[in-house]
Structure 1
Amino acid sequence: MTTRRSFLGRTTAAGVMAGLAASPAAAEDGSGAPADALAGRRRGARDAIVAVNSGMRSHYAALKADLIAQLSPVLVVQNDAKGGRFTLVHNGTQESLHPVGEVFELAKSVSHVPLGVFSIIAPHVSDRIPNVPGADRIDSHDLAMVAFKDTANTDWITPLRQYADTLAAARRELDQAGIPPEMVVSCERVLDGALSFIEVSTVARSFDIRSFEDFSHSVYAGIRTNMRYAAEAQIAGVQDVLRKWRARIGEEAWRDLYTVVLSQWATSELNQNSIIIRPCMNPAKVSTHLIDLPAAEPLSDPVSVALDNLARIVQDNIAAELVFPSDRAAADALKGPQDLLADEILDQLSAATPGAAAHSAPVGAGRGVCPVTRRGSASQQDGTAHDL
């Protein structure tokens, strides 16, 4: 995970390497010392300076390690296929469980069928943008990256038939799963639609995006029903465990609860567990104590990762006001996810660079054209929103 500290460290190292790029055979500086001696002294001086940052990192890590043991109470949520693994850390103890009913996993499992089919056939889809309702929202380059195989290639047939075997097995067992009757019907609709699409496509040894769209559209109502059941199960399970843990630790401790929700980037904004947890926390602290933490892949030790990141946040919250007592914007940057150098870089990038070609946005281009929008005046920098 890149932090402003690692960024600053890399910047320092980059400066050192830039200095070393100068040839040791350069002319003497007038002191009479040979070039290699001057380079050696420069190397030693720069190493001494870099050691300052190394010392900071060592002491910072020591504080963080000690702080991790003090963090309490903390709720850690690792999003997963079962609705989330919840862990309560309180006064040196931990309890972990999956509070969401199994209906959640069953409903989502069947709802993912169209995505499973798509994942098999996608490389063979033509890279020409198809005539579908959302055609104007398809990026041609993205499509070309996904549809990287020849449309005449038929190596999708075997895996698609194998997936059909999995779907057929689930279809045969629906009545024995003990799920609500309405959900049985919705799952039948999804599975039957997929099996029909697979049968027609594999027999013909061809498919097109239109036939896939017809299939996905035909099962959408069933997916919506499953989504309703999944949401109901998740809300009930999460709220139940939160009530249980809140009663156990007491209202005074609950008011200071930190929550770290770990998820993949694709679900880190408006994450389902964060939405449910938010109204159950202290409203005066939820904006700073509910932390959505995206991760690239599911973590082997989510609690340790959550506590490590939370310790950084907590100690930075205090350090910010003491290290930058006279600069509120800098303090807010140290306390939040903004890089500490962000404002300075934005200031320098906004200044005209002699000889640099100016970028001209296409006529009618919206805000999304440039990834960086300069923030407003210092008076607007309250630390609550970053236009990046």
Structure 2
Amino acid sequence: MATRRGFLGGATAAGAVTILGAGPAPAVDASQPTLVDPVLQERVARDAILAANSGMRSHYAVLKADLIKHLGPVVVVQNDAKGGRFTLVHEGARESVHPVAEIFELAKSISHVPLGVFAIIAPYLSDKVPNLPNGHRIDPHDLRMVAFKEAGGTGWIAPLQAYADTLLAARRQLPKANIPTEMVTSCTKVIDGALAFIDASVAAGSFDIKSFGDFSGSVYAPIRTNMKHAAHAQIAGVEGLMRRWRARVGEEAWKDLYTVVLSQWATSVLNQNSIIIRPCMNPAKVATHLIDLPAAEPPSDPVHVALDNLARIVQDNIAAEMVFPADTVLADALKGPQDLLSDEILDQLGGGAAADGAASVSAPVASEEACPFHVRAR
């Protein structure tokens, strides 16, 4: 089904008279014969009807603003380059922490080197898909949009050489960074592979999708090694923090914990922090209390954005059962991320059930020792 967000998020239409700057419409005495513009009469009538929704939205906003003050316990996760900024909101107090060790960021930094090279050369690629084993996976239209500069241009050379200087500086410092020996080796291989590609491309004055693919393929294994170290650091940091906060909040309150994970669309499905946190929550409520909230850009005040959305969800959970006591399907729509009109629209369009086009992804389950909720019962 579809969401109440369509009703609550859209702006209420303003009266036509007000929009035109003519001031409020005069009151009409229905008992007296009068000449009334039918268009104006219709606008006045419709504005009176729309005022009911304006009143609802006003009172709804007041309830939401007041409810925010009473939410808890809540963990808000803002995904970032450091593995996530976590904030606990409980009993009027807040604590914010970056729990993930810096190894996470260091491992990802070098793993992102192929993307750094790609970002420089991409506009100068040929807009023709080459005959490669994975060529059928490249959308020709997307390629034409990315390769928006002349393929023979040389504007990529200077920034690529500058990036090579950055990589050389990082390579020299690897042995002094106090990181695992295995990571020193893997990072060295990634950087050396990038430098070799840059040197060859600059010397030839050209590159193509195949030459870049040869480079990126050659550093796949060391990147996987870095990913292993990054994942280990993130799991250890997040699980440790959740254990500490759970002890502070107490088992009874923790059973009702809400977690709101803010992320960008590209990482909103099977988000790494959501995966780690899931087994730390009450299994009976995690499906409704772990909320992934994708956004186009990181919000300036992520905690407020999370709590504002959560307040809407919580009050709609109660409103749904009271507004639609005889229709559990509509009640579930008001409580969930669907739009209330979705089923009706699908029926009228002949589209059938919404579920036909939605892929469901199940998150992997962590081991019992990770951060199990049921440890309490042992």
**Secondary structure at 2:252 match in 1:** helix
Question: Among the aligned pairs, what percent are the same residue?
Answer: 71
Instruction: Note if contact 2:258-2:290 (Cα within 8 Å) is conserved in structure 1.
Output: yes
Matches within 5 A, 1:227-238: 227-238=227-238
- Paired position in structure 2 for 1:374: 352
In structure 2, the residue matched to 1:122 is 122
Q: Which has the higher contact order (CA 8 A, sep 6+)?
A: 2
Give 1:138's aligned amino acid: I
Call closer, same or farther: CA 1:347–1:66 in 2, change over 3 Å. Answer: same
User: Aligned-pair distance for 1:133?
Assistant: 2.5
Residues 16 and 46, structure 1, Cα contact 8 Å, conserved in 2:
no
Where has structure 1 moved over 6 Å in runs of 4 or more? 14-17
Deviation at 1:4?
3.6
Inter-partner Cα distance in structure 2 for 1:58 and 1:68: 16
1:332, 1:11 → 2: CA distance? 24
| Alpha-carbon offset, residue 137 of structure 1 | 1.4
Provide the secondary structure at the position in 2 that maps to 1:305: helix
State the shift of 1:127 in Å: 1.3
Give the whole-Å Cα distance in 2 for the aligned partners of 1:3 and 1:86: 28
Please state whether the residue corresponding to 2:37 is helix, strand or coil: helix
How far apart in 2 are the matches of 1:151 and 1:6? 45
Q: Residue 54 of structure 1 corresponds to which residue in structure 2?
A: 54
* Pairwise CA distance, 1:7: 4.9
Q: Which residue of 1 aligns with 2:147?
A: 147
- Paired letter, 1:375: A
**Contact preservation (8 Å) 1:117, 1:160:** yes
Contact kept in structure 1, 2:4 and 2:333, CA below 8 Å: no
AA aligned opposite 1:66: D
Aligned to 1:188: 188
| Cα pair 1:100 1:237 within 8 Å, conserved | yes
Aligned twin of 1:209? 209
Residue in structure 2 matched with residue 172 of structure 1 by the alignment? 172
Alignment pair present for 1:86 and 2:112: no
Mapped to 2, the partners of 1:170 and 1:316 lie a distance apart of 51
What value does the CA root-mean-square deviation take over the aligned residues?
A: 2.3
Residues 202, 3 of structure 1: alpha-carbon distance in 2 compared, 3 angstrom cutoff: farther
The 1:299/1:276 distance shift into structure 2, 3 A limit, reads: same
Higher mean alpha-carbon deviation, 268-277 vs 40-49, is at 40-49
Measured against aligned partners, the alpha-carbon deviations of 1:107-126 in whole angstroms (never above 9, x if no partner) come to 00000000111111111111
TM-score, structure 1 as length reference = 0.84
Q: CA deviation at 1:5?
A: 3.9
> What is the CA-CA distance between 1:374 and the residue it aligns to?
2.3
Note the 1:353-372 alignment, pairs <5 A: none
Residue in structure 2 matched with residue 250 of structure 1 by the alignment? 250
1:131 aligns with 2:135: no
Deviations 1:165-209 (A, max 9, x none): 111111111011100000000000000110111111112211111
- Output one character per residue of 1:67-108: Cα deviation in whole Å (capped at 9) or x when no partner: 100000000000000000000000000000100000000000
Q: Distance in 2 between matches of 1:339 and 1:92?
A: 33
1:294 and 1:60 map into 2 onto residues whose CA distance is: 23
CA distance in 1, matches of 2:261, 2:5: 23
The change in CA–CA distance for 1:16 and 1:315 in structure 2 (over 3 A counts) is farther
Q: Give the counterpart letter for 2:106 in structure 1.
A: L
Amino acid in structure 2 at the alignment position of 1:91? E
d(CA) in 2 for partners of 1:58, 1:386: 36
How far is 1:8 from its partner?
Answer: 6.7
Specify the alignment match of 1:332 in structure 2: 332
Structure 1 unpaired stretches of 5+: 21-30, 351-372, 377-384
* Aligned position for 1:354: none
Alignment of 1:6-85 (within 5 A): 6-7=6-7, 10=10, 13=13, 37-85=37-85
For residues 4 and 208 of structure 1, the distance between their equivalents in structure 2, rounded to whole angstroms, comes to 49
Mapping for residues 300-319 of structure 1, pairs under 5 Å = 300-319=300-319
Match of 1:347 in 2: 347
1:230-259 Cα offsets, whole Å, 9 max, x none, are 000000000000000001111001100000
Residue 240 of structure 1 aligns with which residue? 240
Q: 1:14 to 1:115 in 2, by over 3 A?
A: farther
Are residues 207 and 387 of structure 1, via their aligned partners in 2, closer, same or farther at CA, if it must alter by over 3 Å? closer
Give how far 1:131 is off.
2.3
* Offset, 1:41: 1.4
